[in-house]
Amino acid sequence: MSEFHKILSNWYKQNKRDLPWRLNKVPYYVWISEIILQQTRVDQGTDYFLRFIERFPTIDSLANSSENEVLKMWQGLGYYSRARNIHFAAQQIMNNFNGKFPVTYPEIRSLKGVGDYTAAAVASISFGLPYAAVDGNVYRVLSRIYGIATPTDSSKGKKEFSELAMQLLDKQNPGSYNEAVMEFGALQCTPRKPDCSVCPFEQQCVAFNRSEITKLPVKTNKIKIRHRFFNYLYLKHEKTIILEQRLENDIWQNLYQLPLIESLKALTLEELIVHEKFHSLFKTESITIESASNEILHLLSHQKLHVRFIEISLSKSEINKNWIKIAPELLHEYPIPKLIDNFLMEKNRNKME
DNA sequence: AAGGCGGGGCT
DNA sequence: AGCCCAGCCTT
């Protein structure tokens, strides 16, 4: 056992967390946990994992559910393509692998939503196969200990780090090795303010010895924020409410929302009612706005949404084709962005009073 | 190679 | 306000 493995495994024994997907390494559970944890903190994903496997205990039950049901379990977690891909991949397993979770790296990698990282994680943790999982934690830990300044979001960097990770991999215990590096990155070698005074790698850590902890890892990517203006219509028709599905290739794809008028800038109510999209939604001109909320700012990683809710009473003749008319009691069946859900919950609560 | 995709926590 | 999180897919 190399010095690196010795230090790491010793640290892991003392600091390993009890996480639900570590109790039972069946591939289905490991797979679901890895998808949920993509770009998602353990604290945020844990409850989702427990609810997901309770609702869909087997690959078969997942494959035979509707996409709406799967998206509903994902509501509030973000990056919803993960849920759509999980659903699709469950059907891949039923159709291509006879309902048995695939047992080789290339087969696992062929599942929709499973990239190099997730394939390596599942293959090593569930099947003991010698593949190094390289995630954000691994980039950070290796870049610091070995003093590597190659940008982790470049193809050169991805290649360099994955090759180093494969060299370091403990091929006798690839699963626990991968888990240990990631756990070390998550708990000890943290992105900001790591407590290097209690780090077992303090002696050999290149970044620490050069006082370059805050400089590593290097990322070049700079994200640009796009501003968007959403005017949501809360249309009341007798006791029902109106939803529509977002089918565009955009945020919240396939989730449901209130009918939306997006504009290029913030609109006054006067500007809204003469807006082209507003007119195209309604057959008659006699629409009156009952009330409108102030602008709510909703922040996404790449977008800043300026959102307003417009309340309108509707006559029956004005139900649009693409609109779904539902009773409020059925809202729990529809996957809805958290932003919309919060608004509707608030409306419902007021009604109860 | 670059851009798009959520929501939340931390500094 | 900016960065990051057990990344992946599309163009």
Q: What is the DSSP string of A147-174?
A: T--S-TTSHHHHHHHHHHHHHH--TTSH
Q: What is the CATH number of the domain that holds A286?
A: 3.90.79.10
Proximity of residue A134 CB to strand C below 7 A: no
Mean pLDDT of A287-298: 88
CA distances from A295 to A123, A210, A227, A269, A310 (A): 47, 48, 13, 12, 11
CB of residue A105 closer than 7 A to nucleic acid strand C?
A: no
Q: Is the same domain home to A189 and A324?
A: no
Q: What amino acid is encoded at A181 in this protein?
A: V
CA of A66 to C1' of C7 (A): 25
Same domain, A193 and A237: no
Are A242 and A128 members of one domain? no
Query: Strand B: which residues have Cβ below 7 Å from it?
Result: A 39-41, 43-44, 76-81, 154-156, 192-193, 221, 224, 226, 250-253, 298-303, 337-339
The tokens describing A126, both together, are 């569930």
Query: Do A207 and A240 reside in the same domain of the chain?
Result: no
Residues A21 and A60 in one domain: yes
Q: How far is the CA of A223 from the C1' of B3 (A)?
A: 9
Would you call A34 a catalytic residue per the annotation? yes
User: Same structural domain for residues A11 and A136?
Assistant: yes
pLDDT at A283: 67
Same domain, residue pair A313 and A188: no
Question: Are A328 and A301 in the same domain?
Answer: yes
Q: For residue A220, is it within any domain?
A: no
pLDDT of residue A315: 74
Q: State how far the alpha carbon of A29 is from the alpha carbons of A70, A83, A179, A182, A278, in Å.
A: 15, 15, 15, 18, 46
Q: Output the six-digit token pair for A57.
A: 């205990």
Residue whose C-alpha is closest to residue A323's, from A243, A265, A266: A243
A 274-313: CB within 7 Å of strand C: 301
Comparing A3 with A185, which gets the higher pLDDT?
A185
Task: Assess whether pLDDT exceeds 90 at residue A205.
Answer: yes
Name the residue range of residue A253's domain. 226-352
A79 CA → B7 C1’, Å: 9
Nucleotide nearest to A337 (CA to C1'): B6
Residues whose CB falls within 8 Å of the CB of residue A231, separated by 6 or more in sequence, listed in order: A260, A261, A262, A263, A267, A272, A308, A310
- Answer whether residue A106 shows pLDDT above 80: yes
Q: Are residues A250 and A292 in the same domain?
A: yes
Strand B contact nucleotides, protein CB < 7 Å: 1-11
- Alpha-carbon distance of A173 to A5, in angstroms, equals 10
Structural domains in chain A (count): 2
A260 phi, psi to nearest 5 deg = -120, 135
pLDDT over threshold 60, residue A46: yes
| Catalytic residue of the set A3, A34, A238, A318 | A34
- Our measurement of CA A307 to C1' B3, in angstroms, reads 24
